[in-house]
Amino acid sequence: MKTDIDHNDPAKNMNMTAGNGGETHQRAGDDAPVLTTQQGVAISDNQNSLKAGPRGPSLLEDFVLREKINHFDHERIPERIVHARGSAAHGYFELTESLAEYTTAKILTETGKQTPLFTRFSTVAGNKGSKDTPRDVRGFAVKIYTDEGNWDIVGNNMPIFFIQDAMKFPDLVHAVKPEPDRGFPQAASAHDTFWDFVSLSPETMHNVIWLMSDRALPRSLRMMEGFGIHSYRLINKDGKSTFVRFHWKPVLGVQGTTWDEAVKISGADPDYHRRDLFESINAGDFPEWEFGVQLFTEEEADKFPFDHLDATKLIPEELVPVKIVGKMVLNRYPDNFFAETEQVAFCPSHLPPGIDFSNDPLLQGRLFSYLDTQLSRLGSPNFAQIPINAPKCPFANNQQDGHMQMQVPKTRVLYEPQSLDPTRPRESAKRGFGSFHEQLDDGVKGRVRAESFADHYSQPRMFYLSQTPEEQAHIASAYAFELGKVDTAHVRMRMLGHLLNIDKDLANRVADALGMDLPEAAEPRAPIQDLPESPAVQTIGLSPETLKGRMIGILVAKGSSRSEIEKFEKAAKDAGASVKIVAPGREVILDDDTRIESAERIAGAPSVFFDGVVSIIMPDQAKKLAKDSSTLDWFNDAFNHCKAIAYCPATEEHILSKLPIEKDEFVTPLSEVDAFIDNAKTRLWSREPKVRDLA
């Protein structure tokens, strides 16, 4: 709790002067660095352009003005077509168990070494200026600067994708982006074109049901799983191949928000996830993930009840357990957002020797697409020379020239084979990347899709039936909300036909919420299987009962008890939580006459920001706050979102008694500190049906 506020003059010891226009600005002192042009010429006046007299025209010879404006006019580069809005951080990867039996890649065989990396999280559908908390898939891309070259694991927070073949990617993105004739909705799938496309593409059903789940509304970037999605190959020293899928499991556990929370967070703080990542790293509470692999042979894959090369299929952890072999820790926020987070370029084709691709047709298309889009977005084939993209191991090649070439090759030889310069780099059969020598069956080349890719409903059915009852209700409600935004009746009807193939109860719940009759079920291309349930795909069921990484909000006002505040602060922090003081203003005088600074005004810090709330206010302040709508929303939302509330007598008398808040076991007086702390570690989901209609 902050107890000392410095009200000293902020302009003290600053050399201030007034410019010709009357504005006050700071001049450089003798020891301060001098502002210069890009060519290093010192600038004498950065406030006024060069003019022909005080009221005359500006002069073309003003090179300082021309350079400054010219650079400003070209500051923006094309944003990513998808994953445009992202947040990132530096950190390290550490291998804890060697996979030398399966691969020669040093990053997966040398334990105990901390290898630098850069991780970017992103939404998919929105533009760079959209919000952090839409219902959306999240990108989860990791660039590891290994000793054998960069390794980019370019994945999502869901283990599957919408489509099976890269040929359909432009169609998917065009369908989910703002409709071209009207330019909206932004960062949303709740519109006709998306649901028209997916209702005509049964292969999308698995990813769509994940999109309707709590996985699409993460509580924090630190509480998301990451998946490499595709099957890759590990190649060992004998040339033997083992298939692998990559996983990132958050140490803080998986947690989502409710839809109502996500909507309100996006209005109160569209940068909610970005701010959370920034603040947690600055506080030394470093986000951490366990790195795991699913390993399986071709013979084992042939026995799966699905084709592992189909990117719309996950491999249940109950079928192939995830083997934890390493960890990722993010411990440094970027020094410059544009230079690093915006300019970083991920490509799934970036991997070191000992790892190889599978024949997944979606992965094969990505190997082309990502490189192609970097050339467009970053403007040059030399994008790998940008510091955030450059390898940290020695590298050498014969590439030359091109826009923004930063290297100066000191040789006459930039080709191979050559005999003029023995110091130039040469290929290495021993150390170089080698593709797996796969034996292929005879076949006819053509635009075909394997029959083993035809089952579009068994895994979505498994996903839905594996959820807790609360999560099933959230999924049904999400379908009802999204389809309720679709104006075209036959699209809604077509989707209900698909839902009947996933689960009849789910289809009935959505149809009832929409006021529609159920149609005939869609005709499946392959028999629908009843696969074993997989609890590993849950969200609520996987949320750990902990306050580690969570946030407690304490509402205070004039005259609040310092001892009570400190008691709850200590209890929350001892349990691993962070604490923010919320008040009517930014400064508050407590009962012992000390003045403290609040982290937020209550009007700017709704309870959707917190995992549990505490109210410690005096009667006169409670009477005033009872007339404030943001305060009433603070308590109402905390209750409606199934969170723990601790209240003082004044809060009970003047606020809670006026609201539709039931005194259940998660609404406790200040005297029950331990009960509040235990409650705040989870949510009282049994409260949810009492406070909102769920499909």
pLDDT tens per residue, range 580-612: 999 999 999 999 999 999 999 999 999 999 999
**Half-sphere exposure (Cβ direction) of 158: Cα atoms closer than 13 Å:** 28
Residue 146 forms beta bridges with which residues? Answer: 149
Q: What's the predicted TM-score (pTM) here? A: 0.91
Q: For the residues 456-464, what does the mean pLDDT come to?
A: 98
| CB atoms closer than 10 angstroms to residue 545 | 11
Q: For the residues 7-33, what does the mean pLDDT come to?
A: 53
What pLDDT shows up at residue 443?
A: 66
What pLDDT shows up at residue 8?
A: 45
What pLDDT shows up at residue 407?
A: 84
User: Cα–Cα distances in Å, from 262 out to 482, 609, 613?
Assistant: 15, 10, 18
- 470, two tokens: 């609360």
| Residue of 150, 156, 157, 389 marked catalytic | 156
Q: How far apart are CA 122 and CA 86, in angstroms?
A: 4
What pLDDT shows up at residue 28?
A: 54
Which SS3 state, helix, strand or coil, does residue 172 take?
helix
Name the percent of the chain lying above pLDDT 90.
85
Secondary structure letter of residue 161 according to DSSP: -
Report CA 514 to chain centroid distance, whole Å: 31
Residue 289 has pLDDT above 70, yes or no: yes
Q: How far apart are CA 481 and CA 499, in angstroms?
A: 15
Give the ranges where 379-522 is alpha helix by DSSP (H). Answer: 458-466, 469-484, 489-502, 504-514
Q: Per-domain residue ranges for the chain?
A: 86-246+276-385, 454-541, 547-691
Contact status, residue 691 vs residue 640, Cβ threshold 8 Å? yes
Q: What residues have CB less than 8 Å from 74, skipping those under 6 apart? A: none
Closest among 351, 320, 136 to 224, alpha carbons compared: 136
Q: How far apart are CA 130 and CA 394, in angstroms?
A: 39
What pLDDT shows up at residue 418?
A: 84
What pLDDT shows up at residue 96?
A: 98
Report CA 6 to chain centroid distance, whole Å: 37
Residue 211 host element (H or E): helix 205-211
Q: Residue type at 351?
A: L
Q: Which tops the pLDDT comparison, 245 or 11? A: 245
Examine the residue annotation and report whether 83 is marked as an active-site residue of this protein: yes
Q: How far apart are CA 44 and CA 114, in angstroms?
A: 47
What pLDDT shows up at residue 18?
A: 45
| CB atoms closer than 10 angstroms to residue 583 | 23
Highest mean pLDDT among 15-19, 46-50, 420-424: 46-50
Residue 512 has pLDDT above 60, yes or no: yes
- 303, two tokens: 């026995």
Buried b (16+ CB within 10 A) or exposed e, 594-614: eebebbbebbebbbbbbbbbb
Q: For the residues 659-663, what does the mean pLDDT come to?
A: 95
454-541 fold? Hemocyanin, N-terminal domain (1.20.1370)
User: Cα–Cα distances in Å, from 84 out to 129, 177, 508?
Assistant: 8, 12, 37
* Helix axes of 169-176 and 192-199: crossing angle, nearest 10 degrees: 150
Give the ranges where 586-680 is alpha helix by DSSP (H). Answer: 619-625, 629-640, 649-654, 673-680
Buried b (16+ CB within 10 A) or exposed e, 312-348: bbbbbbebbebeebbbbbbeebbeeeeebbbbbbbbb
Minimum mean pLDDT range among 60-64, 110-114, 196-200, 438-442: 438-442
Residue 528 has pLDDT above 50, yes or no: yes
Residue 14 has pLDDT above 60, yes or no: no
Examine the residue annotation and report whether 157 is marked as an active-site residue of this protein: no
**Half-sphere exposure (Cβ direction) of 337: Cα atoms closer than 13 Å:** 8
Minimum mean pLDDT range among 69-83, 120-134, 280-294, 421-435: 421-435
Architecture label for domain 547-691: 3-Layer(aba) Sandwich (3.40)
Average pLDDT value for the chain: 93
Torsion-angle region of 120 (φ positive above 0: left; ψ -120 to 50: alpha; else: beta): beta
Which SS3 state, helix, strand or coil, does residue 195 take?
helix
Cis peptide before 425 (omega within 30 of 0): no
Q: What residues have CB less than 8 Å from 443, skipping those under 6 apart? A: none
What pLDDT shows up at residue 26?
A: 57
| CB atoms closer than 10 angstroms to residue 631 | 24
Place of tokens 């009200």: 7
Residue 430 has pLDDT above 90, yes or no: no
What pLDDT shows up at residue 432?
A: 85
What pLDDT shows up at residue 82?
A: 96
What pLDDT shows up at residue 2?
A: 47
Residue 506 host element (H or E): helix 504-514
Cα-Cα-Cα-Cα dihedral sign, residues 481, 486, 488, 490? negative
For domain 86-246+276-385, the CATH class is mainly beta
- Could you tell me the maximum CA-CA distance found in the chain, to the nearest angstrom? 90
Cα-Cα-Cα-Cα dihedral sign, residues 467, 473, 474, 478? positive
Confidence of residue 10 (pLDDT cuts 50, 70, 90): very low
Q: For the residues 328-356, what does the mean pLDDT come to?
A: 97
| Residue of 25, 74, 83, 206 marked catalytic | 83
Confidence of residue 420 (pLDDT cuts 50, 70, 90): confident
Planar angle of CA 371, 372, 378, nearest 5 degrees: 85
